[in-house]
Structure 1
Amino acid sequence: MPGGRLTQEDRRLIATWLKDGLGYAEIGRRLGRPTSTISREVARNSGRSGYRAEEATRVTGERARRGKPRPRAVPVVENGYGRDPEAVRAFETEFAEMIVATGLPRMTARLLACLSVSDDGVLTAAELAQRLQVSPASVSNAVAYLEAQAMLRRERDGRRERYVIDEEMPQRVWDESVRSNQEWVRIARRGAEVLGTSTPAGARMDDLSRFHARINEIMLDDRVAVFAGDALTVLAALLHAGRALSVPALAGALEWAPDRVAAALLVVEEHPHIAGPVRVDCRGGEYRAVPLVERLTVGQLAALGS
């Protein structure tokens, strides 16, 4: 039957036609099969005496009786939090599909989802390969892609590398997106200069540069909203401490990276309205939260004993 498995009669004809000196292409044409099917069949079932039709039929029958090997089950990772492992795995798949829809390669999306749903956010290459049932090379390629996009970072653990998604990841991705948009603006403006804005191609480049410049403005404005929560947390920490603290001291107390603390303090400095009736003074590398007494009248200050 053309398109199906070779039958015993097909194999008998192949053996006969080979003895008659016919080539694979002609045999395939007569049987209605691709030439590659005939060449594979002959290569797989030939011995010193040439193609063996009866042996080929016997081996194929045994292979069919054994059936296909069962696929290995994807390991279910115990989480220790009483969650339903199957529900977690289903969510991981759903999460990966959403990431694929945004444009990431499927393997990259699966790896990102796998790391994201792990409680530590840290896995080795071997652990990722086992959980995803893929080769180490596939893991390596996906990691390289995510690292280039600032979506994960590497850690050295003795002789092993660990791949980490931490709380700083959204900020790194955001910063990388801003940088990428700035590159679009730069190259599009350069294109407009080279092509001339009075030409259709130059005008297109000019529009492109303006579009990405506007996107950058929006992203930079939105960054204030993103880090406003961090800014208020730092203010609360300074008010609670009641004394001046350095960035490293704040980072240690809040269990944050120093860059995150510095970014929050910068938002307070550049957008004082976020802090309300409080401002942050910096002296000698230490920060102190102080009230904005300027909001009070002389009479109010006197009544309050100031």
Structure 2
Amino acid sequence: MDKNNKILVCISTLFLCMFLFVFFGETNVNASGQSYSPVAYDISQYQGYLTDSQAKNLKKEVKFVILRVQDGSYKDIKFEHNVKLMNRYNIKYGVYGYSEYTNPYQARQEARRLYNSAKGALFYANDYEIGFKNNTDASTAAWASEMRAVNGGKPIVLYGSKSTLDLFNKNTLKVYNNIWLASYSKYMPNPSYKYDLWQYTNAYPSVSLSQKLDGNTIPYGGRINDLLYRKNNKKLNLKLYYHIKNMSYMKVINKKGVDLYINGKVIRRAKYGEILPIKSFKIKHDRVMAKGNLATYTANKKSVAIYK
């Protein structure tokens, strides 16, 4: 996100974490007991013009990127260059617009401008950070309505800090397909609404870009994979493969579901039809053992389908 707003979000998150620590002591701990690895970076002109070498390495480092297209009516001057590299090296990407709207009419204009500038994106995010007003709910709902009318059914995402998202009416949040929450902490937030992508730091040391970036990961139950993986992904025949790295996802096809583990402990049961991100898998006898971004998945071969 933009630098000034990063500072504000970071300060507010710091005070929130201090408040929680004072009142809840050590009970609010990192649920996984581990450091998080980013599945995505969000990138704007502040990261500069990417090189071919950086783009190639970026693809090995994260699953996808989210490119800034605009700040209100201002066009990000690095976007056109960087999006060409995404297409050249087949890197999955979504886009976001930093919103400056103050009424529904302006919100609709910004949404349409974002889509027209990035028709090849997998999803479109409304980055709302400018402060909550009486008509913010109506304006933000109008942004989603306009984007839905023009983008051909692609997912629509709302981004904000927890303090901002908490102010929205729940009906406003529901008009978006996904919520992208910013909270710079090792503690995974637990708001009253579901969110699908967590921006947990603004200082992740990216090897590919040799600079610190916004790091985003998938919270427990996050559905961000719905934004990225479509029917054109190749389904693997598990009879022909023993193990492979850099996979896309695993789909639960057992109606009883599949257990998810962290450090050998079951954290929840993935439901039938749920899509789970994976980095690699191996097969031992009839069992599939897959590594995800936060958890590991172990299941019978007949319980899952794996896609490249």
* Fold conserved between structures, TM > 0.5: no
State the structure with bigger RCO (CA 8 A, min sep 6), 1 or 2.
2
- Which structure: greater strand fraction? 2
Structure index of larger Rg: 1
Q: Normalising by structure 2, report the TM-score.
A: 0.27
TM-score (norm. length: structure 1): 0.27
